[in-house]
């Protein structure tokens, strides 16, 4: 009876967390634009310079990109770093940027979706959202077909595209509440 009750409690807790996540995402999509733009907790620390950061090691973690476990995204380098404990880079990879860039700053993962249709109409998986800019949700995703084509510049999209393997890594690493640091 005890294990059966624990299973019911676990199931109800999971259902409640999923519901809260969906409602939070819906609420963020319907919030006025001026409220949605205030998610950043500040500019990156001094030292997060423009690309290339290290001409001999262009994939080196940018200085001043925060501390602790985090995802670091460089808008200028179109590169992501998954940083674990002790400031150790677990993985780094190039991405295809969206047409709408997030402002430099520190964010947290606010919602995730296993599979959805991207703002460009392409089926995507492992969507990890961390902010929105002028009504456009910004996050990492991988196209289900594996494509990483540049988006149409005439469209306002927020999907930062990565390969499916890199998308799997971000999905496993960046759960709700995880820190995302955006640097220039």
pLDDT at 20: 42
pLDDT at 5: 56
| Domain range list for the chain | 1-30, 33-183
pLDDT at 6: 54
* Per-residue pLDDT reduced to its tens digit, 20-37: 444 444 444 444 443 333
Give, in order, the Cα–Cα distances in Å from 121 to each of 29, 116, 124: 18, 9, 9
pLDDT at 97: 96
Residue 181: CB atoms within 10 A of its CB come to 27
Tokens of 152: 């149409």
Per-residue confidence of the chain (184 residues) as pLDDT tens digits?
555 555 564 555 444 444 444 444 444 444 444 333 334 444 444 434 444 456 667 678 998 899 999 999 999 999 999 999 999 999 999 999 999 999 999 999 999 999 999 888 899 999 999 999 989 999 999 999 999 889 999 999 999 999 999 999 999 999 999 999 999 9
pTM: 0.72
The domain made up of 33-183 has a fold known as: L,D-transpeptidase catalytic domain-like (2.40.440)
Count, residues in the chain = 184
């Amino acid at each position: 009876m005890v294990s059966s009750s624990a299973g019911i409690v676990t199931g109800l807790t999971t259902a409640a967390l999923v519901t809260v996540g969906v409602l939070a995402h819906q609420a963020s999509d319907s919030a006025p634009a001026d409220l949605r733009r205030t998610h950043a907790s500040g500019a990156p620390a001094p030292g997060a310079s423009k690309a290339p950061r290290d001409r001999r090691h262009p994939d080196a973690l940018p200085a001043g990109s925060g501390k602790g476990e985090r995802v670091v995204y460089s808008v200028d380098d179109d590169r992501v770093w998954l940083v674990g404990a002790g400031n150790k880079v677990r993985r780094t990879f190039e991405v295809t940027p969206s047409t709408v860039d997030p402002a430099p700053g520190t964010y947290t993962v606010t919602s995730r979706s296993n599979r959805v249709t991207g703002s460009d109409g392409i089926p995507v998986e492992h969507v990890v959202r961390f902010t929105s800019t002028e009504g456009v949700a910004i996050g990492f995703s991988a196209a289900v077909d594996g494509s990483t084509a540049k988006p149409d510049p005439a469209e306002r999209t927020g999907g930062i595209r990565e390969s499916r393997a890199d998308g799997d890594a971000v999905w496993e690493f960046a759960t709700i509440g995880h820190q995302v640091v955006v640097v220039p």
